[in-house]
Amino acid sequence: MDTSPARTPYRLDPAGGCPHAVNARLLAQGAVAPVELPGGVEGMAVLGHEALKELLQHPEVAKSPRHFTALREGRIAAGWPLLTFATVPGMTTADGADHRRLRSLAAHAFTPRRVEELRPRVVELTESLLDDLARAAAEGNGVADLRRHFALPLPMGVICELLGVDVEFRERLHHLGDKVVATDTAPAEAVAANRELVALLAEIATAKAARPGDDLTSALIAARDEDGDRLGEQELIGTLLLMIIAGHETTLNLITNAVRALCAHPGQLALVRAGEAGWADVVEETLRWDAPVSYFPFRYPVRDLTLAGTLVAAGTPVLAGYSAAGRDPAVYGPDADRFDVTRPARPGAVRHLSLGHGAHYCLGAPLAGLEATVALERLFTRFPALRPAVDEADLTPHAGFVGNSVRVLPVRLTASEPSG
């Protein structure tokens, strides 16, 4: 039974921006909020930690777009900027046995043991990128964009090496991925970017089918599950799209946000350097405090549901409000908006929901954790005086309301200006 008063839907800004002030206002009114998506599409956002946890594991909440009422009824335009999230074939839009089949074909590459075997390569690539960052700073009067020269190429390099994607494709994949996931992309541009990205991934898959290698793409093409099923062509392309975009965008934002948080809270960085907290604690607190994904599309109730006293009608597109849930004072207390790397874990409870929960928990979570902890430890060891080159207020937020970070992060690596 719906016990909540009627609320005017909040219009999510397609251009994005820092979500935390908006989250606080919405969360103060309730754990579930009606929202207006681009194009005037009605949706809901689940913001409270406990309500979101319930949503993410609810047996009557689906991911398949066949449950999206407005899409099924033809009320979603072809150039809708969130259409790829809703319709891309693969793990993020599959349910039940179909989801388990798709996930099992890729899961072996992301077990903690397999990920740990990647540590030497992650360390090697990190050190090389720190050299590149130092060169960029030397060429830029002491300032370099940490996002461009370090936080991006590390996870992009690792996931593309895993998938066997050649270096020549990586910049284009990132550029097109940005267009596809941004919520402010114009309709014609969104359609064109999606087509180009699918064509590029099909080109990569075709080349791998003709010349298999020791990489995950070749393995996905060849793999069969226990019933003898293979990935269909569209499923393969959808899986590659998910792995490449999610496999680097989330970690890119995570590393960027962690660096910003530590630079803004030098006392917290001092605790890590003193051994009173670990780099893994920094990663976990960043995931909670400044989640790399803010509002993730979509889930759909298969029948009318009541979450935290609010009715969510069947077929409604629901956003998972990760950045809001991470600062929910009902769970994290009155200091929920304080960055604290020594924040104790709550007994018997998950520390945060920023990588999902339940059957769709992020497959690449172990890899993201490895990359981020290695990156932060090596970065602040190599450049202990690192600091932002501009004020936090002057940083431009990420485009769109899905990803949560900034577009560039100019930093100085040394305490003094370079001479000469």
**Token digits of residue 106:** 């890729």
pLDDT tier for residue 317 given thresholds of 50, 70 and 90: very high
Render pLDDT for 290-300 as a digit per residue (tens, 0 to 9): 999 999 999 99
**Token digits of residue 7:** 């609320």
CA count, 13 A, side-chain hemisphere, 80: 19
Question: Are the C-beta atoms of residues 102 and 90 closer than 8 Å to each other?
Answer: yes
Tell me the pLDDT of the chain averaged across its residues.
Answer: 91
Give bridge partners of residue 41 from the DSSP assignment. 37
**Token digits of residue 178:** 């940005």
Render pLDDT for 85-121 as a digit per residue (tens, 0 to 9): 999 888 899 999 999 988 888 888 888 888 999 999 9
Pick from 73, 87, 47: which is nearest to 318 by CA? 47
Question: Are the C-beta atoms of residues 162 and 154 closer than 8 Å to each other?
Answer: no
* Number of residues written out for the chain: 420
Is pLDDT above 60 for 252? yes
Q: Left (φ > 0), alpha (ψ -120 to 50) or beta: where does 315 sit?
A: left
3-state secondary structure of 291: coil
The pTM of the full predicted model, rounded to 2 decimals, is: 0.94
Beta strand extents in 137-267 (DSSP E only): 143-145
In this prediction, residues 367-376 reach a mean pLDDT of 97
* Radius of gyration, alpha carbons of the chain: 21
Pick from 53, 42, 59: which is nearest to 8 by CA? 42
Quote the distance between the C-alpha of residue 80 and its chain's center: 20
Residue-level pLDDT at 419: 39
In this prediction, residues 339-347 reach a mean pLDDT of 88
